């Protein structure tokens, strides 16, 4: 394949058609050195796309971008503000700058000889993405979404980083409402698409668990017939939804019907987990440094993609074996007095909470006390109150000794725990991060496990940092 698009060589003229735009001022010969949606990060020669958000309008910063050296600007029709008469930047007008960003990224993706793997699902997708990139990066130069840039802005930005040296891209695809996974699939045009699971996440935007299933299945609906599809085969709802599309599917999981399975699973405590990866008649022993049953499934997802790429088994073993986890995602830290502090503060939903509690029970058994600090779970719509009651229920049933809950629905969490028998003095609503850290500090004793988990907006990493600094612990 001949690659024609390279930043520093491409001109405004060459991107007008992919943008479905019109040059209204400036010169079409302007050379572009990159693309950005943030006027604060514009570098000389960049293309600035003026996006509109709920709390901002990129058009307000067009002049600033030009003054900082932008060679091109993409604006929406109807924007009337004057631009400096000394402007030499190419001004390209489009109907919708967000759509134009996606269209440009989709075109850019096809201008490069790259294999694209896309991962979506209710939980596990970020870790599965990181594990997959760890493996594929051993075989060829690979890019991935940085952090959690998995939406209609972040995913295109990732694709627009492609250059002539990259041969693989691992893309996480997230959603808050129907249509987003479909559009992301259209932009990325993945060669391999994987869905990790369907669970009660982002219910507010899709209207219930069936809405989540339909939203995730947009990948199946929009992915090319030539592409390969991988699903978590033990998820009955996901598999049922997939039947509507009547296409060949590769499955992974623990059940005997899955093509890619885990066998001889052994917990290594907080030091990780080992298992035999089974694929048809092939087998390899995998040793993960990260604990938790959820990471077993993430590793199977990553291995499934790698096998479809025909990556060597040696790279799969090495890539998974070198993965050291992601801060805020079930990451254990060892503190003095044999205390384990589990940082799971990045996000929370009923599915991932149960997975975290089950993993701790599997790792620690009943030999240690468990203290749980929970933050509110967001975007659950009409299921919010019930889900928080169930969260308290889950914590009490896990055998936890203490529960401290924070957020607008902390009262439901506490109520659920009390109904399952946790004493009132051990199921407590707290008002702040400082209050939670203080109360946990008052009850913790030698050998305890502390789990901190909450949705991103709750900021429970502040509690984690306070406890960690107080105990001067180091990573396990």
φ and ψ at residue 264, rounded to 5 degrees = 50, 50
Q: How confident is the model at residue 148 (pLDDT cuts 50, 70, 90)?
A: confident
pLDDT tens digits for 299-330?
999 999 999 999 999 999 999 999 999 999 99
Three-state helix/strand/coil letters over 341-400: EEEECCCCCHHHHHHHHHHHHHHHCCCCCEEEEEECCCCCHHHHHHHHHHHHHHHHHCCC
What average pLDDT is seen over the chain? 93
Residues near 19 by beta carbon (within 8 Å), at least 6 away in sequence? 74, 92, 94, 100, 103, 104
Burial tier of 443 (Cβ tally within 10 Å: 0-12, 13-18, 19+): middle
Q: How confident is the model at residue 472 (pLDDT cuts 50, 70, 90)?
A: very low
pLDDT tens digits for 20-37?
999 999 989 999 999 999
- What pLDDT was estimated at residue 84? 61
Higher pLDDT, 88 or 465: 465
- What pLDDT was estimated at residue 31? 96
476 pLDDT higher than 60: no
Residues near 166 by beta carbon (within 8 Å), at least 6 away in sequence? 112, 114, 141, 142, 143
The candidate with the shortest Cα–Cα distance to 362, out of 446, 269, 449, is 269
- What pLDDT was estimated at residue 176? 86
CA atoms within 13 A on the CB side of 194: 36
User: Any idea which architecture 12-95 has in CATH?
Assistant: 3-Layer(aba) Sandwich (3.40)
- What pLDDT was estimated at residue 54? 85
The candidate with the shortest Cα–Cα distance to 175, out of 205, 145, 196, is 205
**What are residue 278's DSSP bridge partners?**
261, 283
- What pLDDT was estimated at residue 475? 38
Q: Which two tokens stand for residue 395?
A: 């914590």
Domain boundaries, given as residue ranges, for the chain: 12-95, 112-321, 331-475
Residues near 42 by beta carbon (within 8 Å), at least 6 away in sequence? 36, 48, 64, 65, 68, 69, 70
Edge to edge, what strands does the sheet with 339-344 contain? Answer: 427-429, 402-406, 370-375, 449-453, 339-344, 331-335, 474-475
Classify residue 57 by its DSSP letter: B
Higher pLDDT, 168 or 347: 168
Strands 331-335 and 474-475: antiparallel
- What pLDDT was estimated at residue 99? 98
Name the least confident of 76-80, 164-168, 248-252, 394-398: 76-80
Helix (H) or strand (E) holding 211: helix 209-216
Strands 260-267 and 273-279: antiparallel
- What pLDDT was estimated at residue 474? 40
User: Any idea which architecture 112-321 has in CATH?
Assistant: 3-Layer(aba) Sandwich (3.40)
Q: How confident is the model at residue 382 (pLDDT cuts 50, 70, 90)?
A: confident
202 pLDDT higher than 90: no
473 pLDDT higher than 90: no
Q: Please compute the mean of the pLDDT values over residues 38-44 and round it to a whole number.
A: 94
417 pLDDT higher than 80: yes
Asked if 409 contacts 441 with a C-beta cutoff of 8 angstroms, the reply is no
CA atoms within 13 A on the CB side of 335: 24
Burial tier of 366 (Cβ tally within 10 Å: 0-12, 13-18, 19+): exposed
Q: Please compute the mean of the pLDDT values over residues 334-348 and round it to a whole number.
A: 94
CATH superfamily, region 331-475: Mur ligase, C-terminal domain (3.90.190.20)
- What pLDDT was estimated at residue 372? 98
Reduced to 3 states (helix: H, G, I; strand: E, B; else coil), residue 114 is coil
Name the least confident of 76-90, 371-385, 389-403: 76-90
**What are residue 403's DSSP bridge partners?**
372, 427
- What pLDDT was estimated at residue 22? 95
Q: Which two tokens stand for residue 426?
A: 């051990």
How many Å apart are CA 427 and CA 449, to the nearest integer?
Answer: 16
Model pTM?
0.94
State in Å, rounded, how far the first CA of the chain is from the last one: 46
- What pLDDT was estimated at residue 381? 86
Residues near 255 by beta carbon (within 8 Å), at least 6 away in sequence? 233, 234, 261
């Amino acid at each position: 394949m001949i690659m024609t698009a390279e930043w520093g060589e491409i001109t405004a003229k060459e991107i007008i058609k992919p943008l479905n735009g019109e040059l209204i001022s400036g010169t079409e010969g302007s050379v572009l050195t990159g693309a950005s949606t943030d006027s604060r990060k514009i570098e000389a020669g960049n293309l600035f796309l003026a996006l509109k958000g709920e709390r901002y309008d990129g058009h307000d910063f067009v002049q600033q971008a030009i003054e900082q050296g932008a060679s091109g600007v993409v604006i929406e029709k109807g924007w009337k503000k004057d631009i400096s008469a000394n402007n030499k930047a190419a001004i390209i007008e489009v109907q919708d700058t967000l759509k134009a960003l996606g269209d440009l990224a989709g075109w850019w993706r096809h201008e490069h000889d790259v294999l694209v793997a896309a991962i979506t699902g209710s939980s596990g997708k970020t870790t599965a993405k990181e594990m997959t990139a760890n493996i594929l990066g051993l075989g060829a130069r690979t890019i991935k979404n940085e952090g959690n840039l998995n939406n209609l802005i972040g995913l295109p930005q990732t694709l627009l980083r492609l250059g002539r040296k990259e041969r693989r891209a691992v893309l996480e695809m997230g959603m808050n409402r129907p249509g987003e996974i479909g559009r992301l699939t259209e932009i990325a045009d993945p060669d391999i698409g994987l869905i990790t699971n369907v669970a009660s996440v982002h219910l507010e935007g899709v209207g219930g668990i069936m809405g989540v299933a339909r939203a995730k299945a947009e990948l199946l609906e929009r992915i090319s017939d030539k592409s390969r599809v991988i699903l978590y085969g033990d998820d009955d709802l996901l598999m049922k939804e997939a039947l509507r599309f009547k296409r060949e599917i590769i499955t992974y999981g623990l059940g005997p019907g899955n093509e890619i399975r885990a066998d001889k699973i052994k917990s290594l405590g907080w030091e990780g987990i080992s298992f035999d990866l089974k694929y048809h008649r092939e087998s390899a022993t995998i040793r993960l440094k990260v604990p938790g049953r959820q990471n077993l499934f993430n590793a199977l997802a990553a291995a499934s993609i790698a096998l479809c790429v025909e990556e060597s088994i040696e790279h799969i073993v090495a890539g998974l074996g070198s993965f050291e986890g992601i801060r805020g995602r079930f990451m254990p830290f060892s503190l003095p007095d044999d205390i384990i502090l589990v940082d799971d503060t990045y996000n929370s939903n009923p599915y991932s909470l149960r997975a975290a509690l089950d993993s701790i029970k599997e790792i620690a058994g009943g030999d240690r006390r468990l203290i749980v600090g929970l933050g509110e779970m967001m975007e659950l719509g009409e299921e919010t109150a019930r889900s928080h009651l169930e969260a308290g229920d889950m914590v009490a049933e896990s055998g936890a000794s203490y529960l401290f809950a924070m957020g607008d629905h902390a009262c439901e969490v506490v109520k659920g725990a009390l109904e399952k028998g946790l004493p009132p003095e051990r199921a407590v609503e707290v008002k702040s991060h400082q209050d939670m850290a203080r109360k946990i500090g008052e009850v913790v004793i030698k050998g305890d496990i502390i789990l901190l988990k909450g949705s991103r907006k709750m900021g429970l990493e502040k509690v984690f940092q306070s406890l960690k600094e107080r105990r001067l612990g180091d990573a396990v």
